[in-house]
Copies of this chain bind each other. A is one copy, B any other.
Amino acid sequence: MADTGAPGGETLLFLTDEQLRKGIEAMFFAYRGFTADPDRILDGLDYGRAHHRAIHFINRQPGLTVNALLNVLGVTKQSLNRVLRTLIEDGLVESRVGRKDKRERHLHLTERGTALERELSEAQRVRMRAAYRAAGPQAVAGFRQVLEAMMDPDLRRQYQMMGAGS
């Protein structure tokens, strides 16, 4: 109702509260699906979602420091440390003292860590691939556009920088 006076003359029906609410609920339900497959795998092992996230980003940027990982994940060092310690103890992650700056620890996946990463991310990719294929390339472009616009500016910068090396 009261659709008059639209600036620019374009239809802005996609900005109604109803449409926004549908988008909010879509995010909620889709995120559940998004995490379901890796969660199932991690259930059997002694790990959780926090371990998955750490493994993902260590694989993504081998040699990144603990501090850098902290920033990407958005948790405290105490929280990350607990997770990281178990991964190191179990031989999935290696922590190497920095050569230039020996205070820093550079994180790498071991062979076993790489194997688990592959298993987890492949499970996640299977679902993404199916969703992408079902929706088509144009929809995927829109999907990525909206998600980027939803990020906090700091995280968006990090996200975009991570893709620069490809």
Q: Which residues of A contact B (CB under 8 A)?
A: 11, 14-15, 17-34, 36, 53, 60, 74, 121, 124-125, 127-152, 155-156, 158-159, 162-163, 166
> CB-nearest residue of chain B relative to A166?
B18
Contact in complex: A30, B142 (CB < 8 Å): no
Contact in complex: A147, B20 (CB < 8 Å): no
A141 to chain B: closest CB distance in Å? Answer: 6
A87 to chain B: closest CB distance in Å? Answer: 18
Question: A109–B143 Cα gap in the complex (Å)?
Answer: 33
Contact in complex: B143, A24 (CB < 8 Å): no
B-chain residues with CB within 8 Å of residue A53 when the two chains form the complex: 28
Contact in complex: B25, A159 (CB < 8 Å): yes
List the 5 shortest-distance A-B pairs measured between CB atoms, nearest first.
A142-B142, A139-B142, A131-B149, A143-B146, A30-B147
Contact in complex: A139, B141 (CB < 8 Å): yes
B-chain residues with CB within 8 Å of residue A162 when the two chains form the complex: 25
What 14 new A-B contacts, CB under 8 Å, besides A24-B121, A26-B147, A30-B147? Answer: A14-B141, A24-B34, A24-B124, A27-B30, A29-B147, A30-B151, A32-B74, A36-B152, A127-B150, A131-B150, A139-B145, A141-B142, A142-B145, A143-B145
